[in-house]
Each structure stands twice: as structure tokens, then as C-alpha cells.
């Protein structure tokens, strides 16, 4: 799967669940503006497009594919570079905005739950919606070496305020934690598509650090 990382990547079409009402269309425009904020370097519209594209081959495994796609739109809608807080505020945004768009309360709750899961990519076995969303969010790790290197550069740019030594130490800890996982992807198809190349990419970046 090609991963387009240009910050100028066009915004994907609005989810059908948001296209049928004035409130939904206003929310889609708000989300598009959030993803295009100038301070973003990796968590851009390009990342959103890549996650949505990666969901598609996995969508048949989800219990509620529409909730998974909506959660992709919201999962980094609030982005200030504060891990955990960003996801929580993004989940709260979904809870505040989606009811006015006519979504069923249980779907709104599922979207918020999935957004919160992306904070640590930790979920219970059998949680198909979370597995699909998290696999899609991490699909970038399994790109070609060139795609992965573009992703790694974008991550460094987002943390440009962090001194080099501190960034390298923190990034190395993240990479080691990922490599220590028995598996990076929660779905069999995700593992088939991305696992081997993701491990190669992670090990290659860690060696460079």
C-alpha cells in the first residue's frame, strides 16, 4: 500500500454518515480544517488518507466498519503533540459533535471508544473494530523503505522542538517497545500485509539511531 505523506495531500471525501445533514457537512468541514493545520507534519491529511485506505482491505473483519472509518477521521482531530491527551480530546470532540449529525447513540459511543484505543493501541482479544483501526493506523510501519523513511522524517519534524539526544532516546524506546511485541498487527490480514516489512523498517531505523 502506497503511503502519501505530503502535507498538501487533498482531504478525503466526507464519510457518508456526515454528508446527509447540514450539521454533518459542517462537521466534515471542521475535521478537514483540523487535519490541515499548519503545525502538523505527520498527523496530516495524508495520514488520514493513508489510514482510511488501509481500513478498506480490513473492513470486512470489523463489526461496525462505519464506526471504524469515523474513528479514523476523529483519532487525531485534536493534535498538539500530547500523547494521551490528544486522543482524549479527540474522543470528546466526537461525543460533542456526532449526536447532532443523526448518528445512533451506540455508534457515537463506539467511535469515541475507538479513538481512545488509538492512544496506546491496546484492546481486548476479539475487539474486531479496534483491531482494524489500530492495524490501519500502524500500516505506515509496513510501507516500502522509502515510504517508511518519509514517515520517520515527518515524525522527527513534528518533534522538532525536542533536542536531538532526547529525541533519539525516546524514539529508540518506542521502537524497541514495538519490536518487543509478539505481533504488531491484530488481524491475520494485517500481519500478512505489513508485519514482516514493518519489523525490518523498525529495526533499520533503530540501528540508525
**87-99 pLDDT per residue, tens:** 999 999 999 999 9
Q: How far apart, in Å, are the Cα atoms of 3 and each of 48, 120, 121, 187, 197?
A: 10, 22, 20, 20, 14
The pLDDT of residue 208: 95
pLDDT exceeding 70 applies to what percent of the chain?
96
pLDDT classification of 8: cutoffs 50, 70, 90? low
Between 133 and 7, where is the model more confident? 133
pLDDT at 85 over 70: yes
Count CB neighbours of 81 within 10 A.
14
Vertex 48: Cα angle to 38 and 95 (nearest 5): 90
C-alpha cell at 73: 477521521
User: Around 25, how many Cα atoms within 13 Å sit in the side-chain half-sphere?
Assistant: 4
pLDDT classification of 11: cutoffs 50, 70, 90? confident
Phi and psi torsions of 158, nearest 5°: -65, -25
CB of 158 closer than 8 Å to CB of 41: yes
- What does the DSSP 8-state code read for residue 63? S
Count CB neighbours of 168 within 10 A.
14
24-41 residue pLDDT tens: 999 999 999 999 999 999
The pLDDT of residue 135: 98
Please name the residues in contact with 87: beta carbons below 8 A apart, sequence gap of 6 or more: 75, 76, 115, 116, 118, 119
pLDDT at 158 over 60: yes
pLDDT at 13 over 80: yes
CB of 119 closer than 8 Å to CB of 150: no
Global confidence as pTM: 0.92
d(CA 111, CA 72): 9
pLDDT at 142 over 70: yes
- Would you mind telling me the total number of residues written for the chain in this entry? 209
The mean pLDDT value for 72-88 works out to 93
The pLDDT of residue 136: 98
pLDDT classification of 100: cutoffs 50, 70, 90? very high
Vertex 187: Cα angle to 130 and 72 (nearest 5): 35
Q: Which residue has the cell 500485509?
A: 193
Amino acid at each position: 500500500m502506497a503511503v502519501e505523506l505530503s502535507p498538501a495531500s487533498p482531504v478525503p471525501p466526507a464519510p457518508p454518515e456526515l454528508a446527509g445533514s447540514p450539521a454533518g457537512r459542517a462537521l466534515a468541514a471542521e475535521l478537514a480544517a483540523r487535519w490541515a493545520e499548519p503545525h502538523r507534519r505527520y498527523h496530516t491529511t495524508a495520514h488520514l488518507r493513508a489510514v482510511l485506505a488501509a481500513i478498506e482491505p480490513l473492513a470486512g473483519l470489523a463489526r461496525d466498519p462505519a464506526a471504524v472509518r469515523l474513528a479514523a477521521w476523529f483519532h487525531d482531530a485534536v493534535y498538539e503533540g500530547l500523547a494521551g491527551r490528544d486522543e482524549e480530546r479527540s474522543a470528546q470532540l466526537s461525543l460533542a459533535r456526532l449526536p447532532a449529525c443523526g448518528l445512533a447513540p451506540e455508534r457515537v459511543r463506539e467511535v469515541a471508544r475507538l479513538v481512545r484505543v488509538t492512544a496506546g493501541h491496546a484492546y481486548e482479544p476479539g475487539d474486531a473494530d479496534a483491531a482494524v483501526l489500530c492495524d490501519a493506523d500502524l500500516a505506515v510501519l509496513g510501507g516500502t523503505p522509502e515510504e517508511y523513511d518519509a514517515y520517520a522524517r515527518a515524525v522527527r519534524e513534528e518533534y522538532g522542538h525536542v533536542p536531538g539526544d532526547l529525541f533519539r532516546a525516546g524514539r529508540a524506546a518506542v521502537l524497541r517497545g514495538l519490536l518487543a511485541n509478539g505481533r504488531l498487527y491484530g488481524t491475520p490480514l494485517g500481519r500478512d500485509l505489513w508485519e514482516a516489512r514493518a519489523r525490518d523498517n523498525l529495526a533499520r531505523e533503530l540501528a540508525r539511531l
